[in-house]
Amino acid sequence: MKPDPRQLVDGLVAGDRAALARAITLAESALPRHQELAEEVLELCLAHASHASPGAGGAVRLGVSGVPGVGKSTFVDALGVHLVREREETVAVLAVDPTSPVHGGSILGDKTRMPRLASDRRAFIRPSPSGGSLGGVARATRQAIVLCEAAGYRNILVETVGVGQSEVAVADMTDCFLLLMLPGAGDELQGMKRGIMELVDLVIINKADGGSEGRAARARSEYEAALHLFPPPPHGWAPVVGVCSAQENRGVREAWELVLRHRAHMQESGWLHRRRAAQARRWLVELIEGHLREAFLRSAAVRERMPGLEGLVEAGALSPLRAARQLLEAWEAGGKG
Interface ranges with ligand GDP (CB under 6 A): 66, 68-74, 113, 206-207, 209-210, 245-247
Closer to ligand GDP at the Cβ: 44 or 252? 252
Rounded Cα gap, residues 172 and 134, in angstroms: 13
Give the shortest CB-66-to-ligand GDP separation in angstroms: 6
Closer to ligand GDP at the Cβ: 11 or 98? 98
Rounded Cα gap, residues 141 and 150, in angstroms: 14
Give the shortest CB-207-to-ligand GDP separation in angstroms: 4
Give the shortest CB-336-to-ligand GDP separation in angstroms: 43
Give the shortest CB-250-to-ligand GDP separation in angstroms: 8
Gap between the terminal Cα atoms of the chain: 28
Give the shortest CB-245-to-ligand GDP separation in angstroms: 4
Closer to ligand GDP at the Cβ: 74 or 130? 74
Rounded Cα gap, residues 27 and 52, in angstroms: 22
At 61, phi and psi to the nearest 5? Answer: -105, 110
Give the shortest CB-108-to-ligand GDP separation in angstroms: 7
Closer to ligand GDP at the Cβ: 193 or 303? 193
Residue nearest to ligand GDP (CB): 71
Closer to ligand GDP at the Cβ: 213 or 286? 213
CB 327 within 8 A of CB 293: no
Closer to ligand GDP at the Cβ: 83 or 93? 93
Residue type, position 32, single letter: P
Question: Which residue blocks in the chain are alpha helix, DSSP H?
Answer: 5-13, 17-28, 32-52, 72-81, 115-118, 134-150, 166-171, 186-191, 194-197, 213-228, 252-269, 271-298, 300-314, 320-333
Give the shortest CB-220-to-ligand GDP separation in angstroms: 15
Closer to ligand GDP at the Cβ: 34 or 113? 113
CB 199 within 8 A of CB 173: no
Q: Cα 66 to chain center, whole Å?
A: 13
At 155, phi and psi to the nearest 5? Answer: -130, 135
